């Protein structure tokens, strides 16, 4: 059985599916991609048993056939090949020949029966997102997902489709929430789902390869993300997401207005002195002056003075500087506003004039 396929299209497809490939030695088949030849197309599958990706590529095929090939080895081979047609031949004992220009490789494959069965899922509800909208909402929340494996309910992003469309993420020390009007998404379904971080990372990668609208299907315990030539399936986190609304402060109290670039630059420069111990970034407000500083017993200290719009009481407060930079990197607006209560209470950050994107950060003791 032979497959004739464009090298660049095949390499792009392998790049897309290999992101979920596992390397656990206990299940070596999960380090493989399943290649399935059907009339006029080559289908590629990968899975880690939680997240799965399928990509289809146009190809000339002489017959239907399947073989599982080592993902990393196939990727390395295709990366080095010229932009010439690739001829794939599945021989006896699942030995697979790959030829391109003057190069030829032979890989030992595994049988389709060894590959995890890809379950059929019935979609019950759907939402249609513009690619740019979905990409924006994920990028504004993904950084706040918890990396603590014992806090399973926080290890993904909450997608809420109610009166508006929301994505929320928190690790217990910070929270990011983005809200969009319902009219920006097609579909009337009202659902909630916690999407695992790994699935969202792969969705972001797939969004870069596709400009078409993206359909999200809700199954019983899975989410199915449909792109033009690829499909991602993810098991959902079936836990109760915390009542995040209870920790979002009211936009009141001490109010600071400054440009995003002002704060970004000061944080970047003072963070050079943080070191491995993760010293807090200290912010002091006196009149219209903000002092951003960081002190490290081993390295020294850094200080920067900013002119800001502030008329409240003097206050000194500490933050994880990385958290502040993550928020600012997701902001497109020119100015940001900070609402403070005191040096120990949650602080609200958002773009000036809009509450469609908010970040709540717990202070650090200084």
pLDDT tens per residue, range 194-233? 999 999 999 999 998 878 899 999 998 999 999 999 999 9
Residue 275 has pLDDT above 80, yes or no: no
End-to-end CA distance of the chain: 68
Query: Which CATH code fits 248-361?
Result: 3.10.150.10
Domain edges within the chain: 2-114, 125-245, 248-361
Kindly give, in sequence order, each residue whose CB lies less than 8 Å from that of residue 93, ignoring residues fewer than 6 positions away: none
Do 324 and 264 form a contact (C-beta atoms < 8 A)? no
Please name every residue paired with 92 in a beta bridge, in sequence order, or none if there are none.
Answer: none
Q: Nearest-CA neighbor of 230 among 19, 358, 56, 68?
A: 56
Kindly give, in sequence order, each residue whose CB lies less than 8 Å from that of residue 134, ignoring residues fewer than 6 positions away: 203, 207, 214
- DSSP symbols for 42-72: EEEEEE-SSEEEEEEEE-EESS-EEEEEEHH
106-118, pLDDT tens digit by residue? 999 999 898 988 7
Domains 2-114 and 125-245 share a fold: yes
Q: What is the mean pLDDT of the chain?
A: 93
Percent of the chain with pLDDT over 70: 98
Q: Architecture of domain 125-245 in CATH?
A: Roll (3.10)
What's the pLDDT band for 173 if we cut at 50, 70, 90? Answer: very high
Do 293 and 302 form a contact (C-beta atoms < 8 A)? yes
317-357, pLDDT tens digit by residue? 999 999 999 999 999 999 999 999 999 999 999 999 999 99
Query: In the CATH hierarchy, which fold is given to the domain comprising 2-114?
Result: DNA Polymerase III; Chain A, domain 2 (3.10.150)
State the Cα–Cα distance between residues 33 and 267, nearest whole angstrom.
43
- DSSP symbols for 249-291: --S-SEEEEEEHHHHHHHHHHHGGG-TTTTPPEEEEEETTEEE
Q: Which tokens is 342 given? A: 């005191």
- Residue 59 sits at φ, ψ, to 5 deg, of -160, 160
């Amino acid at each position: 059985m032979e497959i004739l396929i464009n090298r660049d299209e095949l390499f792009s497809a392998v790049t897309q599916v290999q992101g979920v490939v596992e390397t656990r030695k206990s299940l070596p088949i999960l380090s493989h991609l399943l290649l399935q030849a059907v009339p006029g197309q080559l289908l590629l599958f990968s899975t880690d048993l939680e997240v799965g990706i399928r990509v289809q590529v146009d190809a000339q095929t002489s017959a239907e056939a399947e073989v599982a090939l080592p993902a990393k080895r196939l990727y390395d081979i295709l990366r080095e090949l010229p932009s010439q047609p690739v001829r794939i031949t599945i021989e006896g004992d699942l030995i697979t020949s790959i030829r391109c220009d003057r190069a030829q490789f032979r890989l030992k494959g595994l049988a389709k029966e060894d590959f995890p069965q890809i379950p059929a899922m019935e979609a019950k509800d759907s939402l249609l997102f513009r690619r740019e909208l979905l990409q924006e909402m994920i990028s504004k929340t993904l950084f706040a997902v918890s990396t603590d494996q014992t806090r399973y309910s926080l290890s993904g992003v909450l997608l809420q489709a109610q009166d508006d469309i929301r994505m929320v993420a928190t690790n217990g020390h910070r929270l990011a929430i983005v809200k969009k009007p319902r009219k920006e998404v097609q579909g009337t379904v009202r659902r909630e789902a916690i999407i695992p971080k790994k699935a969202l990372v792969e969705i972001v990668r797939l969004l870069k390869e596709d400009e078409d609208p993206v359909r999200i299907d809700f199954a019983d315990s899975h989410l199915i993300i449909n792109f033009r030539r690829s499909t991602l399936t993810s098991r959902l986190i079936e836990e109760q997401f915390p009542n995040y609304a209870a920790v979002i402060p009211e936009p009141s109290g001490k109010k600071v207005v400054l440009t995003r670039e002002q704060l970004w630059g000061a944080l970047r420069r003072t963070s050079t002195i943080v070191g491995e111990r993760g010293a807090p970034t200290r912010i002091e407000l006196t009149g219209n002056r903000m002092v951003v500083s960081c002190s490290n017993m081993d390295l020294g200290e850094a200080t920067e003075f900013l002119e800001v719009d502030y008329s409240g009481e003097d206050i000194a407060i500490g933050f994880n500087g990385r958290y502040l930079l993550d928020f600012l990197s997701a902001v497109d607006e020119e100015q940001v506003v900070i609402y403070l209560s005191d040096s120990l209470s949650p602080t609200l950050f958002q773009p000036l004039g809009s509450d469609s994107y908010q970040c709540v950060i717990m202070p650090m003791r200084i």
